[in-house]
């Protein structure tokens, strides 16, 4: 995963939400079709994609896709 755009692609293709890279900074609740349940699925997918363990509490506290991306790519130094 090289940029937050890759995370947006994952959300589009795996969760099915019709979002664009411009939405990465929006509060999650404002994303069309967002549900907190998606966060759990996203955690599992991100760990698969990055082959790293991600801090679940940190992802659960993230408020935007950008913040989730930063948790995910920062996982290596946790």
Partner 1 sequence: MVTPAGIRGPQPNPNAATTPDLLTLHHTGQLVRHYPAVRGLLADLSGEQLTRAGRLLARLDPDEILTSHPDTPTLTVAVVGHGTLGGLVAPLTAQLARHGILARVRLGDFDSYVPDLADPASALYAARPDLVLCVLDPEVIWDEVPVPWRPADVEQVWAEKLALLESLVRQFEGAGHGTLVLNTIPLPRLYPAQLIDHASRARLAALWREANARLLRLGEHHPALVVLDVDPLLGEGLPVRDSRMSVYAKAHLSAGLLDAYATEIGPLACALIGRIRKVLALDLDGTLWGGILGDDGAEGIDVGPGFRRFQQVLRQLGAQGVLLAAVSKNDVEPVRGVLTDHPDMVLRESDLVRVIANWHPKHENLRHLAADLNLGVDSIVFVDDSPYERGLVRHEEPHVAVVALDEEPARHVEALLADGWFDVRLLTDEDAERPARYRAEAERRDFLHSFDSLEGYLRELGVQVLLEPAAQAQIPRIAQITLRTNQFNLTGERLQPAAVAALAQDPNALVLGIRAADRFGDNGLSGAVLAHRADGAIHIDNFLLSCRVFARGIEQACLSAVLRHARDTGADAVLARYRETPKNGKVRDFYPRSGFVPVDAPAAAGLVFRHDLAEIPAVPAHVRLTAQFAGDTAPVPADTARVRAGEEKA
Smallest distance, partner 1 to C-beta of residue 57, A: 5
CB 68 within 8 A of CB 59: yes
Q: Kindly tell me which residue out of 3, 25, 35, 76 binds partner 1, with binding defined by CB under 8 A.
A: 35
> Counting every residue, how long is the chain?
78
Residue 59 parent element (H or E): helix 56-61
Please tell me the distance from the alpha carbon of residue 52 to that of residue 17, in angstroms, as a whole number. Answer: 24
Among 27, 56, 63, 78, binds partner 1 (CB under 8 A): 56
- Contact window for partner 1 (CB under 8 A) among 13-21, 22-30, 65-73: 13-21
* Nearest distance, CB of residue 47 and partner 1, angstroms: 10
- Tell me the closest approach of the beta carbon of residue 40 to partner 1, in angstroms: 5
Residue 76 in 3-state DSSP? helix
């Amino acid at each position: 995963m090289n940029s937050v755009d890759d995370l947006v692609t994952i959300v589009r293709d795996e969760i099915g939400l019709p979002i664009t890279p411009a939405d990465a900074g929006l509060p999650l609740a404002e994303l069309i079709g967002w549900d907190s349940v998606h966060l759990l699925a996203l955690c599992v997918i991100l760990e698969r994609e990055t082959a790293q363990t991600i801090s679940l509490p940190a992802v659960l506290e993230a408020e935007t896709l950008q913040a989730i991306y930063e948790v995910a790519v920062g996982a290596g130094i946790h």
